Amino acid sequence: MKWSDLFCEKAIAKGINCRIVNRVNGWPETTIINGQRCFTKSITYYQQRGLYFQGVDPNKLQDTGDYVLLCGGVGDRLRDIFLIPWKDFFRALQEGTPINTYKPPKKQYWQYKFYLKDDNGNWKMFLQPRQASPLDVTKWRYDVVQAIEYLGVLTYK
């Protein structure tokens, strides 16, 4: 499911200036929200493992922006929105090591793999292979309504 498309639709319906400006293979990758540039990912919650899991191309470390917008859902419900400051997210990502996500005979495709796990209400971002200390992302996790309210107070640059 393209959770980030669904989130953007909900934000626009509430009067937020939100537009997807770049897609990769049909998936939103860059979104401008009230003048803030967001690296954007849809993430699906794996109930059996109790986590979200996703990958990021190492070339993204060269980009700049304001936030990383991770839109998470489970089943047919948009559930968790993470609005992580750009620098915090990519600083943590750099602590990991990109891994080849394709199996032979396919060509190589390197990504930083990360997952977000709920530890009794404390959300942590872990990298594969694991870094020494996970990034605590609890303060940047919102439900859909809270995220839209927060975005409504962002000012244009």
Specify the number of domains making up the chain. Answer: 1
For residue 97, is it within any domain? yes
Domain that holds residue 20: 3-152
For residue 157, is it within any domain? no
Cis upstream peptide for 134 (omega within 30°): no
Compute the distance between CA of residue 20 and CA of residue 38 in angstroms, rounded to an integer: 9
Mean pLDDT, rounded, of the chain: 92
Q: For residue range 98-107, list pLDDT tens digits in order.
A: 988 888 888 8
pLDDT band at 155 (very low <50, low <70, confident <90, very high): low
For residue 49, is it within any domain? yes
Q: For residue range 19-54, list pLDDT tens digits in order.
A: 999 999 999 999 999 999 999 999 999 999 999 999
